[in-house]
Structure 1
């Protein structure tokens, strides 16, 4: 008999709708006003910190919903924005500048739901509020750093080939190599050209060879500086607990950063202004540190202090910079001492192998370098940065390092090893960045956008429900149930996808899919009516209506899905948000309009002897 649904299809529909409803459920619980405490570079969050936070809030008579510590962060949930602001001020005063204290919004999802991955939809900046920055990469320092690396590379290459030279020095936009005689110059020039095809070499007077970057090399360095900075900034923001940031390129040397949910602009700047690099350098053990402190710093050395202010004398030559690090993890060695295991790329492994080859047993320092912007600017109105160096680790080279990685020992405590690994994983910025534009979107404006968007969805939903119920009667009610299920599935899928973020244009995409979802049922129902007018029975009409309309519905939705994919591929910002919800809505509406309605229609009218249909 026609229009009988097998049991497996009932179970499949029930399972899909149940899972969709389960993962859409977190969105009804809302969010709490919260204060987030995380450690600075020289501190850690411990149970003692948690006790200090709780006692400070009790003393200030600030009511809290709950205070929790997880992933080296403390989250204080309060009842309203006024308590949130008071808690932030109290904790900043109590904890001092060693900790980051930021206002945030935290999901109020029940623990049992969170334990299975249930989280509310991530809201974009236009809906949740937050901060927007436009940042500029200092290309002058990027080019200068590339020249420094080239000087080291040229020296290493010539030594490996045993080609004698007098010196290698860096100029404003080139590198000069001076040789001892014409024979070594010819050998060195030929070898450097073969190893560096993207450099332009020119022989000058006094046995000097000048090397300049080709235009392609300059463009490649600039492009790499921006892309690498984007990657590193995303890692830092993610590891510091900022959910779903938007970090993307704008133009040749600028980066757009949006941090939804962050209400504290100063906190966001703390995260983004950590424009640091890492260098690995040998200690200068041949000269007196105290003499250097007194002002007699030997040539080829630098005086750098550690986190406690203890001075060290370091060789100027950099063995390897932090931009070669791929991954880092803390662990314990065979004696239970903390260490950091580091993975590097092939170029970094080669540099570290050559640098440590003849220095086994000597101390090596990991130097943390920050570029802090000064108040004044240069003649081109570009920011001027001050270089600040600090030693974060001194370890002894136990064996020749190289290959895919090595380890750092002598870190101190396991917590310090974890902090160092986090810093190394986050990576080193190729060049410092400067905030050139700052904009804050308040949570009240975001809430207004949400309210207006929800009104558009509700009104569109209600009007479509009313039309379908009046025009198609019983079948219209089936379509209305499918439409409601479609909305639940969209919300559930958006909540389930880690990278999906709902923006205001995304809400427009949901409104559009409401109309598109019902369009498929209109095609099916009109075809059923047409079959009945042609004299076919109810069961035959239902069967033919669904089968005949399927190809038309499929063609229409596939073409729209292709358009959504193209928008996602080439669009940015709001366009991507619209395309994501549109694509998800197309897929879920196909399922609900064809599969779900067919299952319900078969359950109500299928396999029975009936004379007419409520359509």
Structure 2
């Protein structure tokens, strides 16, 4: 058949292909090298110097651990070691015992790629929980308990207003308090509603005063509603709309706080997302110390700062300190842990553990005003957390961790002293930096996947991908001959680009279903070439030249290819938005695979076909096929 030649006109397309393949190819290379185990050493006190390289090497040699390299950064040292997870954990225990409580020793990893690739900021694809091993937590946020706490705070606010406005004869109580005191002012048919309401009692001649008190309470707590039940009582309750908004805020705050705690633990590939109405799913790939993660993630700690309550204070709270003294504090705290911007652990002049706090502008002003007016008076710091009792009920326990006398006016920086240990100070500082949880959480599921099982999943997934890719390459080469070689070239470039794109983009994690997405991407990429090549055959059967058949084939098949990929992309995006865990991993790989398949299957293959079309002849035998 006559060969058709054409003038070169693909200069910019060739440049785009070369630049794209080089960038994504370089990003894909570190994935083939994998990662090595590493220990991360950081100081409890940021001003404390880190151990030098020689000392760290000697400590590892004592455990007969081979050190590949030690990387020093500003705030931590990374010891890259040879060996399995058991060796890593033994080395961590030895470092902890030797360095003491002044240093944190965490487990981590380091890319095994050449230094020049690491210097360019390129790293392997982040592996999900099922491929690298790690821990899965499913947490349940107790929104009912949060509602009770919110209602209790509303009762304290109501009592404070009643006290400030000297409304004698008026009281606000929760239903449990009423039943304990034998008050039967409410009807029995409203007992269900009273579980989430405040009972307000007043004198029959206080109607106008009740209205003023409720108005002031609604200004302080938007969303609370008042209903009068008879001439001497009424109920205060939050509206359903307010409860729904509050629950959304509670879940959003829990997600933000948990992500902050995970970042403080140094875990960068974690997946934290809402699951259902009031559950949170946390995947921690590569975590080899699940107890540390459980202790920090599952903590529901909060910190409040109170002034001592004078005798006769309405609604005063009572706490017991470590010496057994009973302390009565004001109903409302001066400020809470939500006003803390930063917290660091350290030691005072006597070597006793402490936590240095930095407050935001609101907390700093409250602290400045309070300390200015209360020099010589004590301030009580109360640490609270939720835990389950023997009846498997969530209860709140509080303890006084500090009673300090204010010596002078304070600003937005001060310290909490007399803590039990440096570890306790470090954990408290971490929780305060990451934020406290307004609602208690419970770990309802915990699953640990060993790294050996993850490695087996990787091997099986790669084998499945290799078999699928090999069969596809052979079929395309035998069925389409020279055009098949172009299809195979674009297919290999597709995989390289996809791996590079996954390594380049942040927050993209490869999971076992993600490997299934890779296999599916191979099929989709080949499908693109099959549509184009079959269209080219049809054009040749109509008597068109090779050049016109190829150009028409790519042009006419593009609309069909685009429709197919757009519909698949819509499905992938839906899975990505509502799915979690394995479903999300599959959706990420599928959506990125669609983009790379369009690029290599249409753009790259078209350019390659046009460049080599003088050498492409479609025989009558191939047309019949």
- The residue aligned with 2:304 is 279
Q: Give the structure 2 partner of residue 295 of structure 1.
A: none
Distance 1:2 1:392 in 2: 88
Q: Distance in 2 between matches of 1:217 and 1:198?
A: 5
Q: CA deviation at 1:202?
A: 4.2
- Cα distance, 1:596–1:366 mapped onto 2, change above 3 Å: farther
Q: Provide, for residues 441-492 of structure 1, a one-character-per-residue CA deviation record: whole Å limited to 9, x for no partner.
A: 0011111111111011111111111111112222211111111110011111
Structure 2 residue 620 is the aligned partner of structure 1 residue 612 = no
- 2:236 maps to which residue? 211
Q: Which residue does the alignment assign to 2:482?
A: 474
| 522, 525, 533: which one aligns with 1:517 | 525
Q: Secondary structure in 2 aligned to 1:582?
A: helix
Gap regions ≥5 residues in structure 2:
177-194, 345-354
CA distance in structure 2 between the partners assigned to 1:270 and 1:194 by the alignment: 39
Q: What is the alpha-carbon distance in structure 1 between the residues aligned to residue 364 and residue 156 of structure 2? A: 12
Whole-Å separation in 1 of the counterparts to 2:93 and 2:608: 57
Partner of 1:91: 95
User: Deviations for 1:328-367, whole angstroms, at most 9, x for unmatched residues?
Assistant: 599xxxxxxx9976558xxxx5x98678657645479694
Specify whether residues 107 and 313 from structure 1 end up closer, same or farther in structure 2 by C-alpha distance, changes over 3 A only.
farther
Q: What is the CA distance between 1:118 and its match in structure 2? A: 1.5
Deviates more, 1:569-578 or 1:141-150: 141-150
Whole-Å separation in 1 of the counterparts to 2:51 and 2:329? 36
Q: Deviation digits for residues 49-74 of structure 1, max 9, x if unmatched?
A: 97765443233333222334546444
2:180 is matched with which residue?
none
Please, which of 10, 17, 22 is the counterpart of residue 21 of structure 2? 17
1:601 aligns with 2:609: yes
SS of structure 2 residue aligned to 1:572:
coil
Q: Distance in 1 between matches of 2:106 and 2:331?
A: 38
**Which residue of 435, 445, 449 maps to 2:443?**
435
Contact 1:457 1:510 in 2 (8 A): yes
> Which residue is equivalent to 2:349?
none
Q: Secondary structure at the match of 1:498?
A: coil
Cα deviation, 1:160-203, whole Å, max 9, x if unaligned, reads 9x675666565655445666861422322344357656334345
Q: 417-426 vs 205-214, which deviates more?
A: 417-426
Asked whether 1:465 is paired with 2:480, we answer no
Matched, 1:407 2:412: yes
- 1:128 partnered with 2:132: yes
Which of 353, 378, 390 aligns to 2:401? It is 390
Matched, 1:551 2:565: no
**Distance (whole Å) between structure 1 residues aligned to residue 49 and residue 286 of structure 2:** 25
- The answer to whether the Cα contact below 8 Å between 1:223 and 1:252 also exists between their aligned partners in 2 is no
Give the Cα–Cα distance (whole angstroms) in 1 for the partners of residues 406 and 587 of structure 2.
51
TM-score between both structures, scaled by the size of structure 1: 0.80
- Does residue 377 in structure 1 map to residue 382 in structure 2? no
Aligned partner of 2:32 in structure 1 is: 28
The 1:90–1:531 alpha-carbon spacing in structure 2 relative to 1, beyond 3 Å, is: same
Question: In 1, are the aligned partners of 2:151 and 2:198 still within 8 Å (CA)?
Answer: yes
Question: What is the Cα deviation at residue 122 of structure 1?
Answer: 1.3
1:76 to 75, 79, 87: 79
Q: Residues 340 and 99 (structure 1 numbering): CA distance in 2 closer, same or farther, change over 3 Å?
A: closer
Structure 1 stretch 132-141 or stretch 538-547: which is displaced more?
A: 132-141
What are the Cα deviations for residues 527-559 of structure 1, in whole angstroms up to 9, with x where unaligned? 222222222222222211211111111111111
Tell me the residue number matched to 1:147: 151
Q: Distance in 2 between matches of 1:156 and 1:109?
A: 64
Q: CA RMSD in A?
A: 4.2
1:578 is paired with a residue whose SS is: helix
1:479-534 deviations in Å (ceiling 9; x for gaps): 11111110011111111121111111111111011011011111212222222222
Cα 1:167–1:285 change in 2 (3 A) is closer
Cα deviation for residue 157 of structure 1 reads: 6.2
CA contact (8 A) 1:38 1:73 kept: yes
Is the CA contact 2:27–2:503 (under 8 Å) kept in the aligned structure 1? Answer: yes
Most deviating of 77-86 and 507-516: 77-86
Query: 2:70 matched to which residue of 1?
Result: 67
State whether residues 44 and 72 of structure 1, in contact with CA within 8 Å, keep that contact through their aligned partners in structure 2.
no
Return the offset for 1:154. Answer: 3.8
* SS of aligned partner of 2:412: strand
Write the deviation string for residues 560-614 of structure 1: whole angstroms up to 9, x where unpaired.
Answer: 1111112212222221111111111111100101111122222222xx5x78358
Give CA deviations for 1:125-173 in whole Å, capped at 9, x if unaligned.
Answer: 111111122333344542343134324544666789x675666565655
**Alignment of structure 1 residues 116-515 onto 2, 5 Å:** 116-139=120-143, 141-154=145-158, 164=167, 172=176, 173=195, 174-175=197-198, 182=206, 183-192=208-217, 196=221, 198-203=223-228, 210-282=235-307, 284=308, 315=330, 317-323=332-338, 342-343=359-360, 349=362, 360=372, 362=374, 367=381, 369-371=383-385, 373=387, 376-378=389-391, 381-384=392-395, 386-391=397-402, 407-409=412-414, 423-515=431-523
Contact 1:142 1:221 in 2 (8 A): no
On the 8 A contact 1:278/1:366 being kept in 2, the answer is no
TM-score, normalising length: structure 2: 0.78
Which range moved further: 445-454 or 468-477?
A: 468-477
Matches within 5 A, 1:34-49: 34-37=38-41, 46-48=49-51
Are the structure 2 counterparts of residues 118 and 550 from structure 1 closer, same or farther at C-alpha, using a change threshold of 3 Å? same
Aligned to 2:185: none
CA 299–318 in structure 1, closer or farther in 2 if over 3 Å, else same: closer
Number of the residue aligned with 2:61: 58
Aligned counterparts of 1:547 and 1:279: Cα–Cα separation in 2: 68
**For 2:397 and 2:428, how far apart are their aligned partners in 1?**
23
Q: Using the alignment, how far apart are the partners of 2:291 and 2:446 within structure 1?
A: 11
SS at match of 1:67: strand
